[in-house]
């Protein structure tokens, strides 16, 4: 160990990486977290998502924000980049999946997961500062009206979220960790959760797991992207690993670190392509299952803009303040952006339900002929964020795709199991039309999704799933990578079934479980 720089290097600082950093530090290990994105504080976040330089992560265009869009042939992926990973831009919601999640997929027979993870879900709630949303606003009340219209009013409820509510705008000493954490400020319900909380109310990972890990001497190296991981000595990694990285911003400076162990925590669009690259290069023992069993959470995102003259403000509240269970396998959530955040209007066109691209395109043209005034009011609406609700629909119906390295593009996907994911789900389309009827609006979707029939998801999962052995998964039930010692995957790519709900809490809980299986460091 005297020749190694760290006990563990963690690649990525999202929910899995942050949990790993704290728990390993508590066990006495010397930990380094490598994050390709930047550090952000409240003043660094943009007021609206029109400030692309501060909001979008697109390095080749000199945009170094925290929100990333990845366009693949079967799905458009929304993800977070920066210290704190997806927590910087996610919608705060913390649901526990239904029983079917724990008893299906490649991990189903490896454990009694619902029971094994129970205490770890409770710990995740505590660490993330879970609280029930105390206030409903216009988007929530409209969803409640929709619930009544479809006779599901008893299935409407407030969300459980990672937000400090307290007294709006009032700063208090750490309310969560007995004074060991940072000061917090009560939520002002500005709707800006997903463009970065500028008011210190959102419980992002840099305010809990990462903050506490740093108090235990964990180090965080930002603006660096890992390019290679090679074994030192023994071919199975017993002697440790060399991690090579390069600056992700500015001058491309290279560096390397030696460590006993490695934890991949870069999310599906970070971890999976890196593992595929390493399997072809420096880590040939990785399972052939790398890139398999990727799920989109069977998700649909549609935007509905009110064209009423005397509209009410849909931007007030937290990102997702309510949820409606629309059937046994599906639910609907109203999502909001803060006042002025209207960038997404440039990426959307009306949604037409058809499996044929030509008919969808003709349907859009027909809508312009049938409702020209309403569509023009939508496209050129002033106060777009105040008028618009993003309807997030998810279901537990399972299907998978496979991610591969592309020859022309960096990544490509192929169909694998079940129906190819679609952004135009009949139930979602029907609900969005009913919501639109209430607010006098027409459902819009990502233009790529409408033209190609693909979904947009903020919850891409899988690609390094659990299995009984390397023929059925990339990792075992304790998140250990088959074929290598002291190597783990702890992020959304480890999710081995379709949760059908926002997955951040589950990623946190499973990583808590995995870290609990690693013994304390022994001093020789």
Question: Exposed, middle or buried: residue 132 (CB in 10 Å: 0-12, 13-18, 19+)?
Answer: exposed
In sequence order, what E strands does 81-238 have? 130-132, 156-158, 160-162, 171-172, 184-185, 219-222, 224-231
d(CA 361, CA 356): 9
In angstroms, the CA 184 to CA 170 distance is 8
Question: Which among 74, 331, 459, 478 is annotated as catalytic?
Answer: 459
Q: Tokens 């006042």 — which residue?
A: 339
What is the spatial distance between Cα 293 and Cα 296, in angstroms, rounded to a whole number? 10
Q: How many CA atoms lie within 13 A of 444 on its CB side?
A: 25
Of the candidates 296, 319, 302, which has an alpha carbon nearest to the alpha carbon of residue 459?
A: 296
How many CA within 13 A on the CB side of residue 443?
A: 26
In Å, what is the CA distance from 404 to each residue of 71, 176, 179, 228? 14, 42, 46, 18
Q: Please name the residue that has the structure tokens 């170094």.
A: 64
Q: How many helices (H) and strands (E) does the chain have?
A: 14, 25
Residue 74 known to be catalytic = no
Question: Which of 86, 95, 93, 211 minimizes the C-alpha distance to 163?
Answer: 93
> Half-sphere exposure (CA, 13 Å, Cβ side) for 257?
25
Query: Is 495 within 8 Å of 395 (Cβ atoms)?
Result: no
Q: Please choose, from the candidates 185, 169, 203, the residue with its C-alpha nearest in 3D space to the C-alpha of residue 91.
A: 203
Residue numbers annotated as active site: 459
């Amino acid at each position: 160990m005297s020749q190694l720089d760290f006990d563990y290097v963690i690649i990525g600082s999202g929910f899995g990486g942050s949990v790993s950093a704290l728990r390993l530090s508590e066990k006495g290990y010397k930990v380094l977290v490598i994050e390709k994105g930047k550090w952000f504080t409240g003043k660094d976040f943009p007021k609206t998502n029109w400030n692309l330089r501060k909001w979008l992560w697109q390095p080749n265009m000199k945009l170094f924000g925290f929100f990333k869009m990845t366009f693949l042939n079967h799905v458009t992926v929304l993800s977070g980049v920066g210290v704190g990973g997806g927590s910087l831009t996610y919608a705060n919601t913390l649901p526990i999946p239904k029983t079917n999640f724990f008893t299906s997929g490649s991990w189903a027979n490896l454990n009694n997961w619902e029971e094994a993870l129970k205490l770890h879900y409770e710990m995740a709630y505590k660490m993330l500062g879970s609280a029930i949303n105390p206030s409903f606003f216009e988007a929530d009340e409209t969803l409640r009206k929709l619930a009544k219209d479809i006779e599901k009013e008893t299935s409407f409820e407030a969300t459980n979220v990672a937000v400090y509510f307290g007294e709006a705008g009032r700063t208090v000493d750490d309310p969560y960790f007995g004074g060991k954490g940072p000061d917090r400020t009560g939520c002002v319900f500005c709707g800006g959760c997903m463009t970065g909380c500028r008011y210190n109310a959102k419980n992002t990972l840099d305010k809990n797991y990462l903050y506490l890990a740093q108090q235990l001497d964990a180090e965080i190296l930002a603006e660096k992207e890992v390019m290679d991981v090679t074994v030192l000595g023994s071919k199975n990694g017993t002697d440790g690993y060399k991690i090579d990285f390069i600056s992700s911003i500015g001058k491309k400076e290279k560096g390397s670190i030696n460590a006993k162990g490695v934890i991949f925590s870069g999310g599906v669009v970070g971890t999976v392509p890196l593992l595929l690259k390493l399997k072809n290069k420096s880590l040939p023992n990785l399972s052939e299952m790398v890139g398999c069993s990727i799920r989109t959470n069977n998700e649909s995102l549609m935007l509905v803009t009110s064209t009423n003259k005397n509209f009410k403000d849909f931007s007030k509240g937290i990102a997702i303040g309510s949820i409606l269970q629309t059937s046994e396998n599906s639910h609907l959530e109203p999502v909001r952006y803060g006042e002025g955040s209207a960038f997404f209007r440039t990426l959307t066109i009306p949604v037409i339900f058809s499996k044929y691209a030509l008919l969808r395109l003709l349907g859009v043209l027909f809508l312009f002929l049938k409702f020209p005034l309403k569509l023009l009011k939508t496209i050129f609406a002033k106060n777009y964020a105040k008028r618009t609700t993003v309807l997030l629909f998810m279901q537990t119906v399972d299907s998978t795709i496979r991610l591969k390295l592309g020859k022309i593009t960096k990544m490509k996907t192929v169909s694998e199991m079940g129906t190819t994911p679609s952004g135009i789900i009949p139930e979602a389309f029907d609900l969005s039309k009913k919501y639109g009827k209430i607010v006098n609006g027409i459902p819009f979707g990502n233009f790529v999704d409408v033209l190609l029939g693909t979904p947009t998801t903020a919850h891409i999962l899988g690609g390094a799933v659990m299995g009984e052995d390397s023929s059925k998964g990339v990792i075992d039930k304790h998140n250990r990578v088959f074929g290598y010692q002291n190597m783990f995957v702890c992020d959304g790519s480890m999710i081995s079934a379709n949760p059908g709900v926002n997955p951040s809490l589950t990623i946190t809980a499973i990583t808590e479980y995995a870290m609990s299986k690693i013994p304390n460091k022994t001093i020789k």
